[in-house]
Structure 1
Amino acid sequence: MNEFPKVLHPYIKQVHNVEGDGYCGFHAIASCLGLHQDERYQIRVNLMEELETHTTEYGDMFGSEYRFQLYNSLNFFGEEAPLQNWMIMPDTGVLIASRYNVVLHCFIRHASTTYLPLRSTPPPAHERIVIAIGLIYGNHYVKIELEGEYPMPPIAPQWIHCKRPCAAEWVTPYIERLNMYNHYYRASFNG
């Protein structure tokens, strides 16, 4: 629990560990999506397809050279992933939210972020899927189950600057919870 922001502790229902073979971020995402964590390769393929399908958009967002590097980091399917092929956050978070049309939280003790889809109109509240992962010990992702109206970390700057107009409403239902998180951090810096 000490690896996650204290403001979230009352809302964390469970933390699920996943295999630590260099694919832990992809295992955690697969598990969050209701897939078996061994479907890590499919997650990688889907994210590569997301980059390829929207080449211009991600080229504008990341720069063409970095978009190519991100693609290459995903394009690995060996037994154990070397460091250069681990999940790269925050950039992979943008791909995940858009590819799977989900709200994704990535909790890191001092740099948590919320990712929203870039190109879709949000579905009705009861159809929205919200998933969460966390980085522990600086090198291992886990799946996090949250409950209640937990405070939400800030939205990724990539979404703010690059979303399509139809996606703007994704943020509306979460404004109060985003403000709760910001208020907590402002108070902790001033206190």
Structure 2
Amino acid sequence: MNLHKELYQWHQEYIDLFGSDERYEFLKNSLLVDHMISTDKWMTIPDMGYVIANRYNVIVVCLSLKQSLTIFPLRSQPPTDFNHHCIICIGHVHGNHFVQVQLQQGCPIPPTDILWSTHCYPIVKTWCSYYTSRMQMFTQIMSIRRHL
């Protein structure tokens, strides 16, 4: 219910972020579950990663063989005390389901999604400064991996 409320409260920002009314409505409706859950109710990460990051003021890291990215909240500044930063990592496994991944302290994380940098409020761009070195490490590792 909290994610549905987030989408409703900030509907125009999410329409802009997702690119269309249709995509927004699809994601909003995917949160309304009756008794049976069918594939049209499956949340998509990274789309729902933005909603989760914004609603709970957390960092969402998505790991996948196809696309890995980090999503920071779009509207809220990071807590000044680094110990209050919360990272939720979700891995896409076997191309058909998601699992929570526990990250080690200080491990590399993927760069931000281009949508984040184009839709975040200017005041929140400081999120990246806390994680620049970790995102650079991830990019270097992936570059080396591609050359092997």
Give the TM-score of the pair, scaled to structure 1: 0.72
Show structure 2 runs of 5+ residues with no match.
none
Matched, 1:81 2:37: yes
Matched, 1:48 2:4: yes
Matched, 1:132 2:89: yes
Instruction: Please name the residue that 1:148 is paired with.
Output: 105
Contact 1:105 1:131 in 2 (8 A): yes
Deviations along 1:49-101, one digit per CA (max 9) or x if unpaired, are: 111000111111112221111111111232x4111101112100111111110
The percent identity for this pair of structures is 34
Instruction: Please name the residue that 1:57 is paired with.
Output: 13
- Aligned with 1:186 (options 128, 139, 143): 143
Work out which structure has the larger RCO, using CA pairs closer than 8 Å and 6 or more positions apart in sequence.
1
Using the TM superposition, give the Cα deviation of residue 182 of structure 1 relative to its aligned residue in structure 2, in angstroms: 0.7
Q: C-alpha root-mean-square deviation of aligned residues, in Å?
A: 1.3
What is the rounded CA distance, in whole Å, between the counterparts of 1:148 and 1:110 in structure 2? 24
Question: What SS class does the counterpart of residue 110 from structure 1 fall into?
Answer: coil
What is the rounded CA distance, in whole Å, between the counterparts of 2:22 and 2:142 in structure 1? 35
Partner amino acid for 1:101? N
Contact 2:89 2:100 in 1 (8 A): yes
Instruction: Please name the residue that 1:106 is paired with.
Output: 62
Deviations along 1:110-157, one digit per CA (max 9) or x if unpaired, are: 311111100001002111111112121112221111113111112122
Aligned residue pair count: 146
What is the rounded CA distance, in whole Å, between the counterparts of 2:44 and 2:34 in structure 1? 16
What is the rounded CA distance, in whole Å, between the counterparts of 1:177 and 1:104 in structure 2? 14
- Aligned with 1:164 (options 93, 113, 121): 121
Using the TM superposition, give the Cα deviation of residue 185 of structure 1 relative to its aligned residue in structure 2, in angstroms: 1.4
Show structure 1 runs of 5+ residues with no match.
1-44
